[in-house]
Structure 1
Amino acid sequence: MTIWNVSPQPVGSPESAALLREYLVDVADRWYLLHDGRRCTLEEIERHLAEMRGDDPGTLLVARYGEERAGCVGLRRLDARTAELCRMYVRADRRGLGGSGALLRAAEETARAWGAERIVLETRRDLVEARALYARHGFADVAPYKEADAYSEVWLGKELG
């Protein structure tokens, strides 16, 4: 039986960079297909990657399915009490195998180790699978906790208790 292993990785490592690029292509394609009826271009991906590099997730947790890297999630401290989840991603061919749950559990454990009492995130309305996943794991609507950008439509949070 293949199992999931999750561990922190340097954000700038080749492995992390490849997963973050896959994540960005996945969410950008969905955005552009919904709003413009097309996939994102290489130039748009490069521009978004440059923007993303300036928005350090703090800690990047990488999930492996067996020996294969298959997903990631970013986690950063917003304040002494709050951690923010960002860039949750599992490769399409590994979805439905428990990787998202493994990543969320690892992110929550990391946040607790930092002393955080709650974890928050922002997402888009069209990412319905992600929103359902978060709901299954106890996340609920919260007030916006930072200024919205073009992609901020839903804010969720969970007390870590």
Structure 2
Amino acid sequence: MRITRLPVDHPEAVTRGRGVASALLRAAEEAARRNGAQVMHQDTRSDLVEARALYAKHGYREVEPYGERLYADHWFEKIFSSLCRD
């Protein structure tokens, strides 16, 4: 499974701080787990400070670059534990 973007199609003032991005990320993680994923990767640009904070808040850790991502400056991963549901 690959999700390349999680856009929120509302004015920023309406959605900022309401948990929309967190809900989308949790839904993507649950779908990945249901399909047998043991790890999830994210990448983002340096200027997307909010995205980096979102990933950290949800237990992602910054890792060495992987793959060829033209616009990525930061790479993250989250390893799912079979005993722990984040």
- Per the alignment, residue 26 of structure 2 pairs with 105
Where does structure 2 lack aligned partners over 5 or more consecutive residues? 82-86
Equivalent residue number for residue 55 of structure 2: 134
**Matching residue's letter, 2:28:** A
Point out which structure has higher relative CO (alpha carbons under 8 A, 6+ apart): 2
- Length-normalised TM-score, structure 2: 0.81
Whole-angstrom CA distance in 1 between matches of 2:46 and 2:29: 23
Matched, 1:143 2:61: no
Q: In proportion to residue count, which structure has more helix?
A: 1
1:157 is the counterpart of 2:72: no
TM-score (norm 1): 0.45
User: What is aligned with 1:86?
Assistant: 4
Give 1 or 2 for the bigger CA radius of gyration. Answer: 1
1:22-49 CA-to-partner distances (Å, cap 9, x unmatched) read xxxxxxxxxxxxxxxxxxxxxxxxxxxx
**Aligned partner letter, 2:5:** R
Alignment partner, residue 84 of structure 2: none
**CA RMSD across the alignment:** 1.4
Aligned residue type for 1:158: K
Equivalent residues in 2 for 1:2-151 (5 A)? 76=2, 85-90=3-8, 91=10, 92=12, 93-149=14-70, 151=71
**Contact 1:108–1:160 (8 Å) recurs in 2:** no
Q: How many residues align?
A: 78
Q: How far has the Cα of 1:143 moved from its partner?
A: 1.9
- Identity value in percent: 50
Amino acid at match of 2:77: G
Answer 1 or 2: which has greater strand percent: 1
Specify the code of the residue in structure 1 equivalent to 2:56. A
